[in-house]
Amino acid sequence: GQQLNQSPQSMFIQEGEDVSMNCTSSSIFNTWLWYKQDPGEGPVLLIALYKAGELTSNGRLTAQFGITRKDSFLNISASIPSDVGIYFCSYSGAGSYQLTFGKGTKLSVIP
């Protein structure tokens, strides 16, 4: 089956630091989506990537769709306490609207 590896599993950073996390897969995908889950809530879509090499920003967040179509990364610049949560990458294959999710990166921000 398709393997999706998300790393790191968890991160503890100081407020103001930049953060980087990534996902890699064993297969080629058409779409990468990044979600954030606040404690006690459902995941919320942050950024969607639809073609290889695409680089997209949403405020302090930047995500890229890897050129090989097998990976994606998410960067957060100048972290703030409200960045705390679990970040999930997800992908869909050709002709499918069904998403598969990574296991998540749990981010903790120390004020």
Partner 1 sequence: DAGITQSPRHKVTETGTPVTLRCHQTENHRYMYWYRQDPGHGLRLIHYSYGVKDTDKGEVSDGYSVSRSKTEDFLLTLESATSSQTSVYFCAISGTGKNYGYTFGSGTRLTVV
Stretch that binds partner 1, among 15-23, 57-65, 67-75, 100-108 (CB under 8 A): 100-108
For the bound state, the minimum distance from the C-beta of residue 106 to partner 1, rounded and expressed in Å, comes to 10
Sole residue written with tokens 């302090």: 60
53-62 contacts: CB < 8 A, separation 24 or more?
Answer: 61/34
For residue 16, report the phi and psi dihedrals to the nearest 5 degrees: 100, -20
Per-residue x/- track, 26-45, partner 1 (CB under 8 A):
-------x-x----xxxxxx
**How far is it, in rounded angstroms, from Cα 47 to Cα 99?**
14
Out of 3, 12, 14, 97, the residue judged to bind partner 1 by CB under 8 A: 97
Residue 100 is a binding residue for partner 1 (CB under 8 A): yes
Which CB atom, from 59 or from 111, has the smaller least distance to partner 1? 59
Cβ-contact 51, 67 below 8 angstroms: no
